[in-house]
Structures are given as C-alpha cells and as structure tokens.
Structure 1
Amino acid sequence: MTTQIIEYEYAPGHFQASEPTLYSPGMLQEGEMILNVGPQHPSTHGVLRFEVITDGEIINDVVPHLGYLHRCFEKHAESLPFNQTIPFVDRLDYMAAMNSEHVWVMGVEKMLGIQNDLPKRVEYIRVLVAELNRIASHFVAIGTYALDIGAYTPFLWLMRDREHIQRMLEWASGARMLYNYIWIGGLFFDLPVGFEERCREFVAYVKPKLQELQQLVIDNKIFVQRTANVGVLPLPVAIDYGCTGPVLRGSGLRYDLRRVDGYSVYPELEFKVPIGEGKMGTVGDCWDRNYVRVLECWESLRLVEQCLNRLTTDLKRTRDFDPQAMVPKKIRPKAMDFYARAESAKGELGFFFRTDGKSDIPVRCKCRSCCFHNLSVIHEISRGAMLADFIAIIGSIDVVMGEVDR
C-alpha cells in the first residue's frame, strides 16, 4: 500500500491570503450595516461571534471573533505531567475525544522511543475506537448541519444512531464522551468481553441507516439547492489557509495523514480517501464537504470491520494480555523540540512539545488546531454570499470551539 496520496502540484505564492478587516461604523459604505451572528446563535455551534458586514442580503465581509471559552489547554499542559494531561486533551474536540487522545499519546510515545514496542492488539483497539469516534463526530456534523438549514428529522435519526457508538465507548472506557481510554504505552483496559460481537451488530445495523441518510439528506433536492455552489472553497485558498480534513478534501485534494504519515496500523488496513468532485455543483462547495463526511463514514466502517477481524482471529484476547504492560512508570523524555500530528475527525491535529530532559512536564506545549485553521478561511468563502447562506457555510466547516479557543 502506498504511504502518500497527493494529486496536486502546488506553487506557493500564487494566491495572496487576506486578513479580515476590523470595522468601525465610520468605515461602512452607504447601505452597509454590521450584524452580529453569535455567540448565542444556535448555528454557530458554540460561543463564536461573527461580525458580518452586509449590504442588504449580500455579505460584503465577515470578521470572526474568537476567545470566549478560555479553555487554557496549553497552559494546563505546561503544569501537568504528560499522562495527566489526557483528560484535558479529551476536552479539545469533545466530539472526537478518542482521536485527540490518539494523537497526544503517539507523540509522547515517539519522544520516549517506545512507539514500535506496543502490542498489536493495543494498536488495533486504538484504531477501532478512534474510527468509531470519527463516525460519531461525522454524525453530529451532518445531523446538526441538516438542522441548521431546516431539516429536523435527520438530526434525530443521526443522534439516535450515534447513541449506539456512545454506549459502546462508554462500555469500554467508563465515560460517555471524555474517555481517558488511550494511555501512554497502552490502554486503560482491554475491550470488555462481548464488545467485538456488539460492534459487529452495530456495523450491520448502521449500514442501511447510512444509505437511507444519504438518500434522505445528501441527495435531497432541497438540500442540494441549499448547499451546491454555496461557500465554494478553491483548493489554492484551502492550502494557503492550512485547511485540512474534510474541508480540504472537499476541495479536491486526497490528503489524509492516515495515508501520508502511515501511523499506527493504518498502513496494514485498506481504505479510500474520498474527495469532493463537484457532482452537484462546484468542487469545494458546502455539498462536497458534507458528501465527503458521508463517504468517510463508509470508509471508517470498513476500517472497523478490518480491526474486528484481526481482533477476533490472530489478535484474540488472552489471560496474560496486559494493555498497560508498556505504560512507563516515569515519563522522562530527552531535551528536545518535537511535533506530532495525526488525522482527527476534522483534520490535522498536532501537538508541539518542548522538553528539558529533567521533568515529565513539558516546558512548552502548543496545539495545532484543525478547527482553528478551517475557521480562518470563512471570510474568504462568505464574501458575496447571501445572509441565509452564511449559516450553511458555517455549518459546512464543522467547527468545535473547544479546539479553537484552546
């Protein structure tokens, strides 16, 4: 299997990114006005405020204002040992906490040089729970997006199906959303007895539901009219702003860190990297971004099935298997600067560590948030859109503010 899939030749500098202008009433042209969308607006999906400059129903500019949650994740991480920070990592993208844990833990393991010593069963369980959480995150993204543009039933259906995943992950970790399940060097605990069988039942159950969802929402004529040719994100703009995940792949670039970096056991698994193709409108529009998320749910189900096959054949549970066997008693990395990244549900999530070699607490920790970069492009793709379409554009980004204001 190839380790890298990039089908685009990019020449830096041919697109000049622009910064949003901070407006004052005296700067407005005749007929313009300033509207505040959020931070209490339900479609902003968190405490996020947009300063929208409109001329009637047409948007002339958008200024996103961040900084309402004050999570202070990075400062928390600089005051605690690496292993005690995992519960705080869960609270970044709380819709896909397993994926965030996976990134953090892999980064610390690489610093310690133990990434190649982990049991295969541990690695496959990590991928299994991460892909289940990716599906759950996409279900929330698609369901709330349909709700944003006026469809209530798909939201209820997807929250119902997501509940099956939440219950399975709660069964494995003891927590419903913030798991602290993936530990440095291993796992909190092995999968419960019967988990694999219950997971197979879920896969068989959700496949026809996902097909039904695709017909009800993605291919729906009204949904297409609301999302096709709306919020078009050209590929050069997406690259210059550092967009990743479904937002970048929706613009036509096959870039997925599970393939590019080939971390964990992903090189041993078969899956495709879906991209936007402009089937209903223009490549990179709101419809493409949502279509990519639906296709990624299908691919994650494939990955879950492959993990289950390995875990129930040559990687069966045994009495002597200890998921905490490689958990270090003391975490003391060498003095270094280190960056680790992986493919979260919303894009590239990365952590920069600076250690002094004397303590298990990092001197500096920096989170590279995929939601922050994806959100930064919103003023570029909103100019010229109608005000009603602005809600559709916000939802297509799939932003979680816990990861933005970190």
Structure 2
Amino acid sequence: MPLVNQTTDNATSTLKGSPEIRNYTMNFGPQHPAAHGVLRLILEMDGEVVQRADPHVGLLHRGTEKLAESKPFNQSIGYMDRLDYVSMMCNEHAYVRAIETLLDIEVPDRAQYIRTMFDEITRLLNHLMWLGSNALDLGAMAVMLYAFREREELMDCYEAVSGARMHATYYRPGGVYRDLPDRMPRYKESPWRKGAKLKHFNAWREGSLLDYLEAFCNDFPHRVDEYETLLTDNRIWKQRTVGIGVVTPELAKAWGMTGVMLRGSGIEWDLRKKQPYAKYADVDFDVPVGSAGDCYDRYLVRIAEMRQSARIIQQCVTWLKANPGPVMVDNYKVRPPEREEMKESMEALIHHFKFFTESYCVPAGETYCAVEAPKGEFGCYLISDGANKPFRVKLRAPGFAHLSSMDAVIRGHMLADAVAMIGTYDLVFGEVDR
C-alpha cells in the first residue's frame, strides 16, 4: 500500500464522525509496477487531483561513470549495455564513437551499415517493450503479448551476432566484434513444436541472418497494423491518452527534451537527420512528428517510427548482401590478432594478452558524441589524458532530463494520468540513475 499522510479538518467531518480527507501526500513507488523501475514519486494530492509531483531518483545508482574511469577503454563497453537495458547497442554506439573520435580512426563501411541496422533493430526492441508495457499500465493486456511476439524474433538477431540476447557488447572501437552469421539458429523439435508447426517456425531461418531480417521486415508492417487495430481507434485508449500530459514546444525545449518527447510536440529534431552518423546519411527515411504534444501523439509517433525503422533495416540488408568486406579496422592498436595468427606467432600471442589486459592508450583530448537512441539523445562526454583508461566519462541520459519535467507536466491531472505520463516518458532507471 502507498504511504499516505492525511491532513484533515474536523470542522468538515461527516455525520459518522470520520474526518473528510482534504489533501494528502502519496508515495508512488519505488515498488509500484507502473513506476517503470525504482522511481519514487512523491505526489501531493487534492483528492484524486495531483497538486505537486516530486520525483526522487538514486535508488539504482551503480556508479557506472566512475567504474568506466577505473578500467581500460575496451572493458567498459559492457557497462553501456546495462544503462538503458532496453536500448543496448545504441548505448554502445555513443561510447565507441567517442573513443573512435579521439583515436581518429575510420570505421569500414560494412561495419557502419551493420551498426545502422542494429541501431534500428534496437529501436524496434525498445518501442515494442514500450508499447506492451504502456498498454498494460493503462489496462490493455493483449498488446503486451502481441509486442513480445516480435520482440523475441529480434532478440534472436542479437543472440546470433553476439551470443547474448540482451547485453551484446557487439560494437567495438573500429567496427564490430564479428561479421554477420551465414546461418540462423533453428528451433529443434519439441512437444510444442513438431511437424508442420516446427517447419512454420523455421521458415525464416533457412538462410543467413540477412535473409531472416528481410523476411521479418516484409512481415512487420502487418504486425504494426495489428497493434493499431487494438489501440489507435480504441475509445478507452484515447480517453486515457488524448489531451493527457500535453507538452508544448516551448516546454519541451525549456526542459531539454529530445527524441519522441520533442518530436511529439511538433519539433522535427532527429540526430540521424540533423547530425548524421554511421550510414544514416545514405539511407532514406522520414522523421514522424506530432502536433498536439499529448500522450496519444507520442504513441502515434512511436508507431510511425517502428515502420520507418523496418524501412531502414531493409535498405541496410540490401546493401550488406551486395557488399562484403571487413567489419573491423585493420589497425593492431584497436584490433586483437586473429586466432590463426596467434598459432603461428609468439608476438601475436603476446599482443593478444596485452590487448585484453592493458587495452590501448587513447590520445589526450575531449569529445562529446551523441546518438539518436530510442528514448532521445544519448551522449557520451569523454576526456582522455593519454592513458589506457578514460580520465572522465559523463553520460547524457534522455530519461533524466525528461523526468525532471514531471511536476510541470502532471499538475492538475488525475492520479491515473500520472501512470500514463510515466509510461509515455519511456523511463529506464539504469540510465536515469547511472
């Protein structure tokens, strides 16, 4: 039960003698399932109406930035996955781009296309999680099951390239860990999948990862249509989201909002277009923009973004099929030796051990590199003093800036609308607390 401090006025007590509650303070979270993590939201209520909202963070603080400053550059990539643990590879991208900028190395084209493709796969993973969990918060159960159906299919792509379904550590300074596999893992016969059913589940898995993604992208727009059938014109969904949590363009800019929170208010700002990185300048896509700036508009923008992400992935698949090549820069400073080299050369073997224990030194300097992560601008400010580990790491998490605006946006709304607003922020506390 939420902790409630009641302020009463005996002069307005009821006939039965029990006092009438005028206003009270409610502790929303950190255990509340709709808090999307360990958010402690102290709400001052007038009945069901929120008078003031005070977000408290820090309950998940793990010192990620300080940990990254105590380890060699290469050994901190895995920490990035665990920040926004629904947008794993996008976090890695900002960090490795910062290292590459200080090292002044050029990443091969194939690796850049792979990064672009997996950034968009990550965007789909994030938006599918958001769609299912936000719908669940507002009372729609079935959408969660639909969204996770596609999410599982994309998780298989993470597993195929890295061996891990979530924390991939796939991006490396200079490229990616390895090239795309020629064969997708297949389902084996089981009591739940056998015969024609097993053949149906393995239909997309007969070829390579690129063949699998091509089949997925051809099918995905129909799946998005199913989500929209369940929600877009659903009158209960619209009653819970239309006109709720309106963020004006002025308010969005004043609070430093980015991503869908900014675009939902009608401001067309997307780093993939405004400050292109990887291969975003070479692929064709549109930037969806809202107009009303309410929860419903932000829902529509995310739905449209999923369609655009599938479009980008299709273009990357087409290019990658036609253009083989290296996926890692040919520079022994940032690339470990191949296994075959270690078998033939003691020098390569020594380099292998030095690379993974001491890493490499990065020239002194500072840089800020940002990516258009699914939740907004995720940036890494990196300072090097010439050593083999960062002097300073400061991460710019979009969720932290968005959460700061909670009081300004939610005042005057009902308690149930606070749940809708927390959901539309798309919060993950690994990046908010860091």
The structure that is helix-richer by fraction is 2
Cα displacement (A) at 1:333: 2.6
* Correspondences of 1:383-398 after superposition (within 5 Å): 383-398=411-426
Aligned match of 1:316: 324
- Secondary structure of the residue aligned to 1:242 is coil
Aligned match of 1:176: 165
Partner amino acid, structure 1, of 2:374: A
- Cα distance in structure 2, aligned partners of 1:337 and 1:244: 23
Aligned match of 1:254: 268
Contact 2:108–2:329 (8 Å) recurs in 1: no
Task: Give the TM-score taking structure 1 as reference length.
Answer: 0.88
- Secondary structure of the residue aligned to 2:370 is strand
Of 348, 353, 378, 1:349 maps to 378
Cα displacement (A) at 1:205: 2.3
Of 107, 112, 118, 2:107 maps to 118
- Cα distance in structure 1, aligned partners of 2:367 and 2:229: 45
Query: After superposition, what is the alpha-carbon deviation per residue over 1:297-347, rounded to whole angstroms, capped at 9, x for unaligned?
Result: 01101100010110112x135xxx353634634532322222111111100
Does residue 158 (structure 1) correspond to residue 162 (structure 2)? The answer is no
User: Computing the radius of gyration over CA atoms, which structure comes out larger, 1 or 2?
Assistant: 2
CA RMSD after TM alignment: 1.9
Does residue 56 (structure 1) correspond to residue 47 (structure 2)? The answer is yes
Does residue 403 (structure 1) correspond to residue 431 (structure 2)? The answer is yes
Aligned match of 1:286: 295
Partner amino acid, structure 2, of 1:352: Y
* Correspondences of 1:3-402 after superposition (within 5 Å): 31-114=22-105, 117-193=106-182, 194-277=208-291, 283-313=292-322, 315-316=323-324, 321=326, 323=328, 325-326=330-331, 328-329=333-334, 331-357=360-386, 359-402=387-430
Contact 2:92–2:169 (8 Å) recurs in 1: yes
Give aligned pairs, total: 371
Contact 2:176–2:328 (8 Å) recurs in 1: yes
Query: After superposition, what is the alpha-carbon deviation per residue over 1:63-110, rounded to whole angstroms, capped at 9, x for unaligned?
Result: 000001122111111101111100000001110101111111111101
Point out the more displaced range, 328-337 or 249-258. Answer: 328-337
- Cα distance in structure 2, aligned partners of 1:100 and 1:174: 18
Cα displacement (A) at 1:202: 1.1
Contact 2:371–2:379 (8 Å) recurs in 1: yes
Q: Identity of aligned pairs, percent?
A: 40
Cα displacement (A) at 1:376: 1.0
Contact 1:250–1:284 (8 Å) recurs in 2: yes
Cα displacement (A) at 1:201: 1.2
Cα displacement (A) at 1:215: 2.0
> CA distance change for structure 1 residues 228 and 176 in 2, over 3 Å: closer, same or farther?
same
Contact 1:38–1:49 (8 Å) recurs in 2: yes
Contact 1:188–1:324 (8 Å) recurs in 2: no
Partner amino acid, structure 2, of 1:349: F
Task: Give the TM-score taking structure 2 as reference length.
Answer: 0.83
- Cα distance in structure 2, aligned partners of 1:97 and 1:149: 26
Point out the more displaced range, 190-199 or 207-216. Answer: 207-216
Partner amino acid, structure 2, of 1:334: P
Partner amino acid, structure 2, of 1:88: Y
- Cα distance in structure 2, aligned partners of 1:266 and 1:90: 22
Aligned match of 2:349: none
Query: After superposition, what is the alpha-carbon deviation per residue over 1:206-254, rounded to whole angstroms, capped at 9, x for unaligned?
Result: 2201111112112322111110000111111111111101111111100
- Secondary structure of the residue aligned to 1:144 is helix
Extract unaligned runs of 5+ from structure 2: 10-20, 183-207, 335-358
> CA distance change for structure 1 residues 212 and 322 in 2, over 3 Å: closer, same or farther?
closer
Query: After superposition, what is the alpha-carbon deviation per residue over 1:261-297, rounded to whole angstroms, capped at 9, x for unaligned?
Result: 11111111111111112xxxxx110111111111110
> CA distance change for structure 1 residues 45 and 326 in 2, over 3 Å: closer, same or farther?
farther
Partner amino acid, structure 2, of 1:287: Y
Extract unaligned runs of 5+ from structure 1: 1-23, 278-282
Partner amino acid, structure 2, of 1:296: E
Aligned match of 2:193: none
- Cα distance in structure 1, aligned partners of 2:212 and 2:281: 26
- Cα distance in structure 1, aligned partners of 2:319 and 2:373: 23
